[in-house]
Amino acid sequence: MMKKFLISITVLLIFFSTACKSVDLAKAPVTLNGMIYDNQNKPVVNYTICVDGVYCCQSDISGRFVLKDVPKGEHVITGYGDRYLNIKETTVIYDKAQILYIRVLTVEAKLNEAFMYLEQSFFEKAEESVREILLCDEDNTEALFFMTVIKYQEGRIEESLLLLEQLRQKKEGGKYVNGLEKIITEN
C-alpha cells in the first residue's frame, strides 16, 4: 500500500513539475532578430536599437541585429544612428521565430521633403520636417540652414538672423552664412 502511495506521489510530482515547465517556457525570454532598412531599401549599418532602453545592440553590415533574452510582451523599440532619423515605436514580442523589420528615414530624405514643402510654400510642413532632423541632431548645419530660410520666407527676419548666428558658430556653418546674411539684412 505504501509502495502504491509513493508511486502515485512520484507520478503526480513529475506531472506537476513538467506542467510548470511548459508554463515557464511560455514566459521564457526570446532572442529577437531584426533588420533595419532605409527609405531606399538599403541596409542600415551601425544603427543602435534598444528595447525598453535596456536591451541594446547595433545593426551589422547587412542591417541585421540580434537581441538576446528579451522578455515576451509589449515593448518600446527606440533607435538612432548617424545620418538617420530616430525611431520610437511600440511592438509586441510574442515568438522566438519573430523577425522585426524596421524602416528608418535618412536625414537627406527628410531634407528633400523639407525642400519640396519649401518650394510649395508649405512653411509649416517644411518646418516640421526640419524639426524632426534637429531632434536627432541639433547641430545639423543643413537643417539649421533650411530653418533659417523657412523663417526668412515666412517674414520672421529676427528669428532667421538668430539662426544665422547659430550657423556662424558651427564648424561647417560658414559656407551657408555669407550669402544668406546678405539676403536677410537687405530686407
pLDDT in 10s for each residue of the chain, 187 residues: 666 655 655 555 555 555 544 445 566 888 999 999 999 999 999 999 999 999 999 999 999 999 999 999 999 999 999 999 999 999 999 888 889 999 999 999 999 999 999 999 999 999 999 999 999 888 888 999 899 999 999 999 999 889 888 888 876 656 666 666 656 666 5
pLDDT for res 3 = 61
Single pTM value for the model = 0.72
The domain defined by 107-186 carries CATH number 1.25.40.10: yes
Task: State which CATH number among 2.60.40.1120, 3.40.50.300, 1.10.3720.10, 1.10.1040.10 fits the domain covering 29-104.
Answer: 2.60.40.1120
pLDDT for res 169 = 83
Torsion, CA 42, CA 89, CA 58, CA 85, rounded to 10: 60
| Helix axes of 157-169 and 174-186: crossing angle, nearest 10 degrees | 160
Residue 166 in contact with residue 144, Cβ under 8 Å?
yes
Q: Parse the chain into domains and list their residue ranges.
A: 29-104, 107-186
Long-range contacts of 91-96 (CB under 8 A, 24+ apart): 93/30, 93/32, 93/51, 95/30, 96/30, 96/31
User: CB-hemisphere CA count at 13 Å for 86?
Assistant: 12
Q: Give the largest Cα separation in the chain, rounded.
A: 107
The set of cell numbers assigned to 96 is: 522566438
> What are the beta bridge partners of residue 91?
75
pLDDT for res 164 = 87
- Return phi, psi of residue 138, to 5°: -65, -15
